[in-house]
Every structure is written in structure tokens, then in C-alpha cells.
A and B are shown apart, each in its own frame.
Chain A
Amino acid sequence: MRKRQQGRKKFLANIIFQAWQPDNFTKMSIKKKILIIDDEVFLANVLSEQLAQEGYVCDIAGDGREGLEKSLSINPDLIILDLIMPVMDGFTMIERLRADNRGKKIPVIVLSNINNAKTVEEMRSKGAQEYLVKVNNSLTDIVAAVSKLLK
């Protein structure tokens, strides 16, 4: 557990470090902000690192409520949303997000391991632009989906 936390710190430090690289710093103003909402810290970290590599700025929220707060305050360009989470799940989060004027237009990619048509349908009707099943998609696939939506 401790090791994992250490790993996470290191990981975050890495991101900050990268963001502060003079090269990236100049691009910073045009970088798109992505908010990853997932209670699986490890998965969120791997994904955020991959996205950072592709030139996005990432923030992570560990549950739906934190994700909603961050969405409304930092106004990300895109949200990657998990479904099953403690405190507030992804189903509720997207409802609240879409109910708020500030959150109406932020594109949302649902990224979950729930794989059934009903849920896909439900999330799309709640305003998600894309639904990806985690295990069936590589990091590259996800990055492709993100860049497609942010084009």
C-alpha cells in the first residue's frame, strides 16, 4: 500500500516535472485539459501518463463527487468517466454534470469494464459521447478516441 502511494507520488511528481519542462511549458497554453474520474488509482495513473505523453494535461479524481466538483471548477476539455465508484458513481455524476450549465457541453468518454448494451444505451442517453470497455481497448485506442473528440 505504502509502496503504491509512493509510486503514485513519484508518478505525480513526474507529471509535474514534465509539465515544467521548458519545452512543454511553452505549449502549455494550448494544451487540452483532461479529467480522469476513476477510483482505480493505478489505472488512472497509467492512462494519465499515456495522455500526458500525447500532450494533454491530466487531472485525476477518485470518485464521482470529487470528479463533479473538479469538472465544474477547472472546466476540463474532456472527461474520462468510470462507472462503478464509491461515494458517487458515474451514472449519477454525469446526470449532475449535465444538469449544471457549466457541465452541459464537456465531452464525456465513459471508460468502464461494464460491457452490456443496456448500460451503453443508458450512458449515451445521459449525454456521454463515447463508451469504451477498458479491457477491450489499448491505451493507444483510448488516446485515439480522445483526440478524435477533441479535434
Chain B
Amino acid sequence: MEIDSAANKERRAEEKYKMCCHDFRGVVYGSPIPQFVIGADHKVIYWNNALAKYSGIDEKEVVGTNGQWKAFYDQERPCLADILVDQKIELIPEFYEGKYTKSKLVADAYEAVDYFPGMKKWLFFTAAVMRDDSGEIIGAVETLEDITERKEAENRLKTKTEKLQKNEEKLIDAIKKLGEEKAKDDAILMSIGDGLVITDNSGGVLMMNNAFEKMIGWRADEITGRSLTEIMPCRDEKGDLVPYEKRFICRVIEGEETGTAVFYYTRKDGTCFPGAVTVASIDFGGEKLGAVSVIRDVTKEIELDRAKSEFISLASHQLRDAPTAIRWSTEALLSGIAGELGAKQREYIEEISRCNKSAIGLINDLLNVSRLDLGTFIVDTKKISLVEICESELKQFETLIKDKSLEIAKNFSSDVSEIEADPQLVQIIFQNLISNAIYYTPAKGRISLALSLSDADTALFSITDTGLGIPEEQKPKIFGRMFRASNAKKARAGGSGLGLYVIKQITAQVGWSIGFESKENEGTTFYVEIPLSGMPKRDGQTKLTKGLA
């Protein structure tokens, strides 16, 4: 092998350089990636086709000039390659603040990402210096990558992510709030004084509050999931066991309205207590998921009620004894059993008898009021004729009607058939209306009674008098308790002021209605609307007492 001459060496180096240059140029120009090369003097050496196409600036325009900025900016400024050629690294932050990084792949290279408003493009660009064999910088190459689409996608993703994050925060907030609300609701439910139990739609226990646990003696964890009917048997007033199908928790699921009622419930220890229960179904999306029962222990109320009834019953018994003695004695005296009475004596005794009757009436009215208020009176229905009852009530006032020379007109239509109603209650209604008309109509007045059909299923009873009438301003009060119109007080001392209250209550409780029209000093008409269906039967403790005529 012959030793290379110096000239040979040089020639080979030059060839190599030329080849390198050629190759480099070939690489740059053939690349689909836009790129340019500048020399140490910042003048453009290469400007590849991809860049020309991309920037719209032809190679010829820029090669040999330092106009590389024209592709990117609207005024002269250094590109990344320019800064690197000068090695003024400190200038990078000034021009690319927050947008650049040092390349991890190529030594001395920097990368940056920037938005170019003129092009409306996001570009990722890398610039690297080129050195000769001695290490001196001879130029720089800058490659560009259009990352607009990626960037936009990124941005879209970012916005989306941010939105999602915000939503998530909101959701977390909402969940937190819900949690707090639920905790609050739970706390409220738990601490309600009445027993509360929630059952599913087959009667299984889901949840209960503390009061309920205390009430029945079971702990929640002992009975959750079990059938409420088995754990807490329920009996009606007669002591009969109420099966699940009849219990409110089942009936509300069937869509029934159950209201409130008292049942007798059995505790864990076998003892019983009366509970007033109200049940509501839990409706969700049109489906009945279960039932909420609120149960109140009414032991004390029932005891109190019983004591009250006993007291009233006893008191009423005692209250009646004295008037009974007066009634029978005056009757005996007036019958002449104890000897003939003088006219004056008879007059006095008759007065005693009348006052006594009004006292008896008052006692009976008061007792009726207490029964009406308690809603405990019996409605014992049978077939009755309204006309017959009306006639017989009217008959009881015969003497008074004669004494006052009142004219009685009757217009009873034969269309009104018999109805199912409690005769005693109908008597109380008619008696009160008739006695009012008679007492408050001056002598020689006229009283008209009428009964007819007002429509296919309603009868209308009316009684019209030519009496005192009701003063306009007192009209709203006449059905009130113990109310007596000012002119009525003057006309008759004995009235209790309870008669209209009693009949208003009766009519309301049996589904009838009562009304009136009146003009002072001209007269009054009372109307009673009577459904031909009569009165619904009702069990209770006591019957109302009819007053004395």
C-alpha cells in the first residue's frame, strides 16, 4: 500500500466535502419537511421545496439573503437558527419565552412551538448548529413541522378536559351537598318524635327511626329486611288480627287512600299499645316502591278520652236527676194527684215546668254538642218518611200554635219517597227548625213547610216564617255555638243558642246541607238539602238526644 501524498489527501477531502455538500443538499431538498439552512453570516444557503411551498416564498427570493424571517414574521427579527448561529443562547428566552426547550436528541439544538397568526398555523421548529471539523460554527439548520391540527386537537381536548373537570367538580359538589342533605334528612327522620318506619312494596322493613325502635322494642338491625306484619302484629278495635293485605302498608301500594286510624300493635315483649297510623306510598317514576308509616302512640289520648267520656256520662247522669224530679213533681201536681190547684198556683207550676223543660233542653243540647265535637255519635239508619217525621214534630207544638194563632201551611210533595236515615237525627233537625219558626214568629203569623224534589236525587225541605228575621250583620254567626241573635234574645229568654249549631253539625256530618234566607222583621226561610240516598250508617258511642218540645 503506497503512502498517500499530501496533495492526494487534500483532494480526497475536497471531494468528500463536495460529496457531503451534495448529499446534504439532496437530503434537505428531498425532505418533505420544510427546512432551511443559513450560514454563519445568517444568509440563507438552502431553502427547500417543502418550505417554499409551505411559506409561499420561493428559494430564489431568499437564498443568499437574510430574509428567512419573511416566511414567519411580518417584520425583521431573528429566527431560532439566527440566534444559535451567533450562540446568543441568552436571547432565546427573549424571543421565545415559555415556548422553547433544549433538544434532548441533538446536542446544541433547541426546539420551540409557536403560533403564527399570519399563517394561522402552529409550528414546531428545531434549530441546530452545524460545525466544521475544527468545531467552528459554520451555519444552522432549522426544520419546521406544522402541528396546527395536533395543537388544535390538543386545545380541543384541553377545553374538553377543563369542561369535564369543571363538571366533575360540580358533580362532586352536588354529591357532597346531597350527602349533607341526606345526612340532614336522616337526622330529621331519626329524631322525629313519632315512630317512622319505611317498608318495601311487599311489607319488608327497610328503615326506621329511633322513636319507632323505642316504641316497639326491636332494634333496627334485628328487623331490617323482615316482614313488618310478622314482627309487629296489628289488631283492630275488636281485637282481630289484621292480615298484610288489609294493612295500610299494603293498601297504599294498591293505590288506596287510607287516612289515619288507630290500631293496636304488639311490641317485641308481647305487650300492646294503641297507635294512630298514617301511611303514604313512596312513588318513584310512576311506580310504588314502598310505604312510609308514621305511628303515634295514643295510649294517653285514649285514656284521656275514656276519662272524658266517663266524666260526661256520669255528669250528665247526675245533671238529669234534679230536672227529672222537678218534671215528675210538676206533672203530678198539674194532674191534680195532690189536690186541686188554684189558678195562680197552676200558673206558677206551669212556669216551673216550662223553665225545667228548657233546662233539660239545654243539658241535652250541651251533651249533644260534646258528642258532635267528638264525632262519636251513632247514625243508626232505617227506612223513614220525612213527611211523617215532620208532621209528628209539628204535632208536638199544637198547643203553642193554637195559643199564638199561627197559620200553618204545608206543601209536601208525594214525589219524595222514603229514605234510609236515622229518625232521631231527622227529628232533631225538624224539631229545631220548627220550634225556631214558632218561637220567633209573632202571634197570627204564618209558617209554611214544604218538601219536594229539587233534582233526581235530592229532596229540599224548607220552612218559611213571617217572624223576626235575622239581622244582616249577624247572619254569618247564626250557626255558631251559643249564638243568639239580638232580636231573638228579646223575643224568647229560654233558648240555648245551640240548636242551629247542633243541626248544622249533624247535617254536615251526614252529608246533608243547610242554608237560609232572611230579612229582618219580614221573616226567615231555612232550607235543608236531603240526598235521597239518606245518611251513611255509622257506629259510635252514644246517640244524640232529642230535646223536649
Instruction: Please report A residues at the B interface, Cβ cutoff 8 Å.
Output: 40, 42-43, 46-47, 49-50, 53, 84, 112-118, 133-136, 138-140
Whether B95 sits at the interface, judged by CB under 8 Å, is no
Closest 10 CB pairs of A and B: A113-B320, A116-B542, A135-B320, A134-B324, A135-B324, A46-B328, A113-B317, A117-B543, A114-B317, A139-B331
List, in ascending order, chain A residues with CB within 8 A of B363's CB: 135
Enumerate chain A residues within 8 angstroms of B327, measured Cβ to Cβ. 135, 138
Contact of A113 among B324, B329, B541 (CB under 8 A): B324
A47-B328, A136-B546, A139-B332 known; 11 other A-B pairs, CB under 8 Å? A40-B321, A43-B321, A43-B325, A46-B332, A49-B337, A53-B337, A117-B541, A134-B321, A135-B323, A136-B360, A139-B335
Q: Which B residues, 495 to 549, have Cβ-Cβ distances below 8 Å to chain A?
A: 540-543, 545-546, 548
Q: Is the interface of A mostly helix, strand, loop or mixed?
A: helix
Q: Establish whether residues A118 and B320, one from each chain, have CB atoms under 8 Å apart when the complex forms.
A: no
Shortest Cβ distance from A56 into chain B, in angstroms? 14
**Nearest neighbor of A140 in chain B, beta-carbon distance:** B331
Q: Does B313 contact A (CB under 8 A)?
A: yes
Q: Is B159 at the interface (CB under 8 A from chain A)?
A: no
The reply to whether the CB of B316 lies closer than 8 angstroms to some CB of chain A is: yes
25 A-B Cβ contacts within 8 A?
A40-B325, A42-B329, A43-B324, A43-B328, A46-B325, A46-B329, A46-B332, A50-B332, A113-B317, A113-B318, A114-B313, A115-B542, A115-B545, A116-B313, A116-B541, A116-B543, A133-B545, A134-B320, A134-B321, A135-B324, A138-B327, A138-B328, A138-B331, A139-B332, A140-B331
Chain B nearest CB from A89 CB (Å) reads: 12
The smallest C-beta distance from A60 to any residue of chain B, in angstroms, reads 15
B443 is an interface residue with CB less than 8 A from chain A? no
Interface residues of B in 293-340 (CB under 8 A from A): 313, 316-318, 320-321, 323-325, 327-329, 331-332, 335, 337
What's the minimum C-beta distance from B265 to chain A, rounded to whole angstroms? Answer: 25
Give the Cβ gap from B181 to chain A, nearest Cβ, in Å. Answer: 52
Residues on B lying within 8 angstroms of A by beta carbon are 313, 316-318, 320-321, 323-325, 327-329, 331-332, 335, 337, 360, 363-364, 367, 378, 380, 540-543, 545-546, 548
The SS class assigned to the B binding surface is helix
Q: How near does chain A come to B399, taking the closest CB pair, in angstroms?
A: 14
B545 touches A117 (CB 8 A): no
Given the contacts A136-B548, A138-B331, A117 and B378 also touching, CB distance less than 8 Å: yes
A134 to B331, CA, bound (A): 13
**Cβ A113 vs Cβ B337 within 8 A:** no
User: What chain B residues lie within 8 Å of A43 (beta carbons)?
Assistant: 321, 324-325, 328
Q: Measured between alpha carbons, how far is A12 from B144 in the docked complex, in Å?
A: 142
Taking CB atoms, residues of chain A closer than 8 Å to B324 are: 43, 113, 134-135
Q: Are B321 and A113 in contact (CB under 8 A)?
A: yes
In the complex the two chains form, is A139's CB within 8 Å of B321's CB?
no
B320 touches A42 (CB 8 A): no
Chain B CB within 10 A, most for which of A47, A53, A135: A135
In whole angstroms, how far apart are the Cα atoms of A112 and B324 in the complex? 10
Instruction: Write the nearest CB–CB distance from A138 to chain B, whole angstroms.
Output: 6
Distance between B311 CB and nearest chain A CB, rounded to angstroms: 13
A46 partner residues in chain B, CB cutoff 8 A: 325, 328-329, 332
Q: Are B545 and A50 closer than 8 Å at their CB atoms?
A: no
Q: Once the chains are docked, how many angstroms separate the CA of A139 from the CA of B336?
A: 13
User: How many angstroms from the CA of A113 to the CA of B312 in the assembled complex?
Assistant: 12
| Min CB gap B544→A, angstroms | 10
CA distance A115 to B378 in the complex (A): 13
User: In the complex, are the beta carbons of A84 and B332 less than 8 A apart?
Assistant: no
